[in-house]
């Protein structure tokens, strides 16, 4: 586990690939987990094999034992609702992202200024960037350095945009099993199989149809792999995460991973393995300060790390306490790309994401962000 007094150094060392200092007991052993190499299934001796006879040359090698297959779970997990029935009635009707007066004023300005054609042209160019073909699946990790930064909302917006514009299957992975909210944001009703479950099930010979049978289907050819079933204490270790991500990569053109907040172990692994990274940050003074410090540390990493990082600056209120554009320019000075997501009443409500209720500026900003991140992911193998 990272040192609480120097977690920044742990993040920096892990992303660089430097081995951690030796400790009396590893993090995995302290929690009852064996190291990854010990978890790999070992070849079992073949049953019924004959012992070497008198006519068998002593130097003849024994037949190679077939590799052991992963064992499927003895019992399928039960489906659980994303929102408990006792709480489902507490949600209010979803709101539009911006007030009616603002929508009317915006429509009038578009007509008077004749900006509609320019806006359509921009959307078309952005869509073309998102629709570029891929030779291998692109993995995009979304994380933050604190809770409440809009990390899950950004992951849901990205996954929804890719699913809308792309023809190949899109996967959203919740690698934040500690009561993560990605299934709720994506409108999933029930959960069954989790990332930890699938890590012990997926096999190379499976077809896409086999794999999607364990996933939650979403609109527009998108799929969700939850991190938990909403249970407190659910865990996802790095070995299971790596196993499931390597296995699923060939089935999906784009995979968006909603990670834990830094410096969690799985989040660090996801950042180092992804072709592009999104760092969600709230448009507040403390959020900007912390994010700027992290980006400065990333400047000491290999250049592709910060070059492949996009900061999603989320406005949590309609009147932020900082100059958002000035703050964005300060963050850009580190070499990272910065996109601003404006305040949106629909997103602020925290329920299921419905794109038709998003404010138009939010939809445009989210699409630009998706295109930028995808372009950066194309630059890395």
Q: How high is the pLDDT of residue 84?
A: 57
**Dihedral of alpha carbons 299, 301, 302, 304, sign:** negative
Is the pLDDT at 86 greater than 70? The verdict is no
Q: How many Å apart are CA 227 and CA 259, to the nearest integer?
A: 10
Is the pLDDT at 251 greater than 90? The verdict is yes
Band (pLDDT 50/70/90 cuts) for residue 88 is: low
| 181-188: average pLDDT | 90
Is the pLDDT at 7 greater than 70? The verdict is no
Band (pLDDT 50/70/90 cuts) for residue 255 is: very high
Q: How high is the pLDDT of residue 377?
A: 94
pLDDT one-digit tens code per residue, 49-78: 444 444 444 444 444 444 444 455 545 776
Least confident of 89-98, 145-154, 200-209, 296-305: 89-98
| 217-243: average pLDDT | 83
Q: Who contacts 69 (Cβ-Cβ below 8 Å, separation ≥6)?
A: 41, 203
Cα separations (Å) of 8 from 11, 119, 186, 282?
5, 42, 32, 19
Which of residues 68 and 377 earns the better pLDDT score?
377
Tokens matching residue 22? 């030796």
Q: How many Å apart are CA 278 and CA 257, to the nearest integer?
A: 10
Question: Considering the chain, what percentage of its residues have pLDDT values greater than 90?
Answer: 40
| 17-21: average pLDDT | 52
pLDDT one-digit tens code per residue, 292-324: 999 998 899 888 889 999 999 998 788 888 999
Q: Who contacts 34 (Cβ-Cβ below 8 Å, separation ≥6)?
A: 28
pLDDT one-digit tens code per residue, 320-366: 889 999 999 999 999 999 999 999 999 988 889 999 999 999 999 99
Q: For the whole prediction, is pTM greater than 0.85?
A: no
Tokens matching residue 290? 């912390």
- Beta carbons of 285 and 322 less than 8 angstroms apart: yes
- Beta carbons of 235 and 177 less than 8 angstroms apart: yes
Tokens matching residue 149? 């930064």
Average pLDDT across the chain, whole number: 78
């Amino acid at each position: 586990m990272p040192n609480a007094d120097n977690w920044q150094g742990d993040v920096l060392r892990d992303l660089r690939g430097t081995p951690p200092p030796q400790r009396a007991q590893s993090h995995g052993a302290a929690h009852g987990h064996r190291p990854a190499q010990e978890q790999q299934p070992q070849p079992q001796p073949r049953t019924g094999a004959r012992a070497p006879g008198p006519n068998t040359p002593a130097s003849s090698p024994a037949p190679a034992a077939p590799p052991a297959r992963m064992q499927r779970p003895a019992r399928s997990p039960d489906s659980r609702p994303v929102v408990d029935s006792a709480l489902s009635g507490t949600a209010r009707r979803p709101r539009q992202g911006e007030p009616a007066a603002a929508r009317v004023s915006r429509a009038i300005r578009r007509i008077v200024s004749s900006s509609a054609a320019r806006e359509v042209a921009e959307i078309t160019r952005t869509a073309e960037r998102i629709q570029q073909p891929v030779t291998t699946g692109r993995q995009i990790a979304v994380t933050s350095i604190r809770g409440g930064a809009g990390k899950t909302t950004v992951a849901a917006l990205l996954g929804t945009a890719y699913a809308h514009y792309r023809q190949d299957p899109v996967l959203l992975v919740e690698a934040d099993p500690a009561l993560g909210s990605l299934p709720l944001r994506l409108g999933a009703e029930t959960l069954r199989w989790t990332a930890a479950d699938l890590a012990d099930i997926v096999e190379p010979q499976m077809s896409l149809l086999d794999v999607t049978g364990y996933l939650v289907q979403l609109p527009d050819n998108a799929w969700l792999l939850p991190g938990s079933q909403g249970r407190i204490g659910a865990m996802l270790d790095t070995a299971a995460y790596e196993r499931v991500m390597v296995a699923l990569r060939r089935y999906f053109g784009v995979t968006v991973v909603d990670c834990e907040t830094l410096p969690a172990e799985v989040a660090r692994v996801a950042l180092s393995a992804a072709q592009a990274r999104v760092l969600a940050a709230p448009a507040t003074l403390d959020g900007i300060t912390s994010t700027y410090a992290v980006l400065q540390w990333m400047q000491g990493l290999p250049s592709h790390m910060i070059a492949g990082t996009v900061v999603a600056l989320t406005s949590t209120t309609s009147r932020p306490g900082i100059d958002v554009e000035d703050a964005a320019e300060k963050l850009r000075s580190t070499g990272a790309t910065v996109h601003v997501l404006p305040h949106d009443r629909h997103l602020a409500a925290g329920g299921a994401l419905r794109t038709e209720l998003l404010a138009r500026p939010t939809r445009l900003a989210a699409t630009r962000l998706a295109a930028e991140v995808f372009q950066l992911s194309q630059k890395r193998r």
